Structure 1
């Protein structure tokens, strides 16, 4: 019975990684006022109050790790990051746009942003992409080429300022029940490491912020609470830890 359950987890997780979900995974959050005084402002003074506030726009680009596959809508890291940043930007409002879908490769994300053509006035852009290139055994050279294109687009969306961009490392799904059952633990971990090493080197050489959250995901076997119910993706707890790692860099960007 135990083996049957583990096999079921592996099959379900494989489906998730190959974008079998039919849900609409591209979401956008409307600006939220942070000061309740605005809600209580009389019509005669509303214009004066609004001029005191600025809407900080955040664009999150990625795949299942960005959309938050298998966790609640507010559990994914972009939502948690936005909430955390409110604590250091209490005089501002926030607007979050997420362009991500389970199973997306770098090419899929490129096609999506080319179609959607996001604005070029975002105060913060995060990019987390590449796991599905690895999962689908796509030639690594494709990632190298398309990652640089996605960096260029991210900078363009971030007001043309690379200082407003954060690249986030790929979680290591070898440290999940699915990774254990795959029989490819060492291969998965080594290949994820290759992708992350390339991304970090690229960012270091080009002066772009890089946030390493992979080490957190590598505690998934000793701390099962870091893995979502599907046995593959990060849990809400893991996303909270990711957010704690990313938030300091994001706060610097938004407070500059």
Structure 2
């Protein structure tokens, strides 16, 4: 083989070797990651509760769980619009019955629970609330694919600060709400579930009527926005 042909042959071999090396980048290299299509998998969300979850007297987009899902999406967390099982006036027992009758066999990546104000309003005992809440927490964990770390609970807000609460002993209402929330927090701790205390936020409505809904009993979308903001970072930690 002539020297010219030998040189051409060597250059061809080297070029091929370099080209092969460039094809063998580590699987987690930047170019490899950039070539992967973005994930389109959405995190499913179930929200359980009563009037505060269904958003009595506010638009659907103003519900706290709907606002939370939008905030999460703005943070880059792909969360679907929440499925909601909730109705104004429901107690723990009525929510449990409604869940059973719903026939919902789906499971979710994220589950929220906010329940108990009607137990307090109707004068039911905290002992009964504890028992029924414990069962609802188990149900919530079941819906969260058996993972309690993907369930979170909001405390019961204080309706006594609303104009509709003027006819009641507001101090007594606050005392009872605190007692129910203490039970709720204890049961969440036992179950390994995150508990978010939004009750202090609800009490700021005593001096800001913009936080009250038009029916003068429930809270406005502005208040629900505060609740969603309050739990946002904690929820992000749950679904990492």
Q: TM-score, normalised by structure 2?
A: 0.81
Shift, 1:243, TM fit? 0.4
Distance in 2, matches of 1:112 and 1:220, equals: 30
Distance in 2, matches of 1:189 and 1:201, equals: 18
Question: Which of 39, 47, 54 is equivalent to 1:67?
Answer: 54
Q: Which consecutive unaligned segments of at least 5 residues does structure 1 have?
A: 1-47
Q: Which residue of 2 aligns with 1:187?
A: 172
Counting only pairs closer than 5 Å after superposition, residues 15-164 of structure 1 correspond to structure 2 as 52-90=39-77, 92=78, 94-164=80-150
2:187 aligned with 1:202, yes or no?
yes
- Cα RMSD (Å) of the superposition? 1.6
Deviation string, structure 1 residues 194-237 (Cα, Å, up to 9, x no partner): 01111112222332101111000111111111111111111111
Q: TM-score, normalised by structure 1?
A: 0.76
Partner SS for 1:55: coil
Distance in 2, matches of 1:89 and 1:118, equals: 28
Q: Larger Cα Rg: Structure 1 or Structure 2?
A: 2
Distance in 2, matches of 1:131 and 1:222, equals: 21
Number of positions where the alignment pairs a residue of Structure 1 with one of Structure 2: 205
Distance in 2, matches of 1:246 and 1:130, equals: 19
Partner SS for 2:218: coil
Runs of 4+ in 1 over 4 A off after TM superposition: none
Shift, 1:76, TM fit? 0.7
Contact 1:172 1:214 (C-alpha < 8 Å) held by counterparts: yes
Question: Which of 197, 204, 213 is equivalent to 1:212?
Answer: 197
Distance in 2, matches of 1:64 and 1:106, equals: 12
More strand by share: 1
Q: Which consecutive unaligned segments of at least 5 residues does structure 2 have?
A: 1-35
Shift, 1:139, TM fit? 2.7
Contact 2:50 2:88 (C-alpha < 8 Å) held by counterparts: yes
